[in-house]
Amino acid sequence: MTTFPDTVTQPGLLAGRRLTLPGHLAYHGPVPWQRYSGNPGRAALLDAVEAAGLTGRGGAGFPTARKMRVAAGGAKRAIVVANGCEGERMSQKDRTLMRLAPHLVLDGVMLAAHAVRATEAIICVHRGDPSVAALAQALGERGGDPVATRIVEVPARYVASEESALVNFLANGDARPTAKPPRPVERGLNGRPTLVDNVETLAQLARLARIGPELFRAGESMLVTVSGAVSGPGVYEVPAGSSVGAVLELAGGAGAAQAVLVGGYGGSWLALPAGNRVPMTHRALSAAGASLGVAALWVLPASADGLTETAGILAYLAGESANQCGPCMFGLPAIAADFADLAARRPALSRLRRRLGVIPGRGACGHPDGAVRLAASALRVFAGA
């Protein structure tokens, strides 16, 4: 029977400063490997992840235990890939986490590897990202980790952080998404089950393994990046499910801003002040016509024009596609041009609506769907359409 502590003293993932190995052990304590040894311990770890309700923090919000069970049940031994490629320009949470708490991420990598019987682990980070140095230093400080871990730098492109793009890059140097099925967790690198988990997911796993599912659920946190028209932009660790307004208050408040972009470039606009009340959960944001995505909030300055801002983001997203599927090659440039027309108060609404209806669900990855979601939310919030 696995036992967990009754109380927890550490508040969450971030201590507010970079923790070297001694500081990490003093703040978080060691991983209680004795709870998870052998096959019974592995099963207990998977059960704890399921009971905690841990979901992916890279945008999709998929249940982590379900993905782990698929990887663990494959005919071949699994590989763990820690996804630290923060392709979303409005998000800084993964970089901040890897810089300040690299050992918590590495603990999570080891726990995930144990849970799925992986024989190797790879940490993927964008080329030139300063967190590569923090992770490399942390790896050098550790000794005795049971699974060999290496850092791989990936081209710093928006879609390169998509899980099938990562696996494709690791296999043959091509950082473009591939068609699914099979998903990487079913058949990934070298035909092996490849568990790709966001680095915050892994750090949360490391915390959950220490304190158990009940305390984890009671004190679950999330990392949110706040930027735009706020006086205190930055990465905030907040209780999971905090409202948009409560998070914005931590960053100085949104003042007279008319809207906030939730979830980054592939996210959605929420009108303010009504949007302040919405909890930052997948379910609540979805009911409000938005999506949590990478948990980023960008406050639109009061003087800015939402249609013009959206046109700029759509043009960026069109330029960042991997140019291998019709919806991206033709659809995204077309809706970016339509938005530029709308922003210039030229008629484009009816053809734009037609286009938005035919693009979703037709790409090899969710990139075009994210752009359509953003465009549709901009029409609702800024054009009343």
What are the residues binding ligand SF4 (CB under 6 A)? Answer: 159, 176-177, 321-325, 327-328, 363-365, 367-368
Contact yes or no for 135/123 (Cβ under 8 A): yes
- Among residues 365 and 379, whose Cβ is nearest to ligand SF4? 365
Query: Cβ closer to ligand SF4: 116 or 328?
Result: 328
Shortest separation between residue 320's beta carbon and ligand SF4, angstroms: 8
**In the complex, residue closest to ligand SF4 by CB:** 363
Find out whether 73 and 192 touch, Cβ atoms under 8 Å: no
CB 346 → ligand SF4: shortest distance, Å?
27
How far apart are the C-alpha atoms of 78 and 71, rounded to whole Å?
6
Integer angstrom CA distances of residue 79 from 43, 109, 110, 155, 365: 18, 10, 11, 21, 22
Kindly tell me which of 113 and 365 has the beta carbon lying closer to ligand SF4.
365
Cis peptide before 184 (omega within 30 of 0): no
Minimum Å gap between C-beta 54 and ligand SF4 is 27
**Are the CB atoms for 267 and 195 separated by under 8 Å?**
no
Task: Name the residue nearer to ligand SF4 (CB basis): 42 or 187.
Answer: 187
| Contacts of 55 by beta carbon, 8 Å cutoff, 6+ apart | 61, 62, 63, 64, 201, 282
Shortest separation between residue 159's beta carbon and ligand SF4, angstroms: 4
Helix residue spans in the chain (DSSP H): 21-28, 38-52, 64-72, 93-100, 102-116, 131-141, 163-172, 199-218, 244-250, 282-287, 306-320, 326, 332-343, 349-358, 367-382
6 is written with which tokens? 């009754």
| Of 247 and 364, CB closest to ligand SF4 | 364
Q: By C-beta, is 160 or 226 nearer to ligand SF4?
A: 160
CA 194 vs CA 105, 123, 197, 366: distances in Å: 18, 12, 9, 19
- In the complex with ligand SF4, the residue whose CB is nearer, 210 or 367, is 367
CB of 368 to ligand SF4, least distance (A): 5
- Smallest distance, Å, CB 303 to ligand SF4? 33
CB of 68 to ligand SF4, least distance (A): 25
Q: Cα–Cα distance between 152 and 167 in angstroms, integer?
A: 11
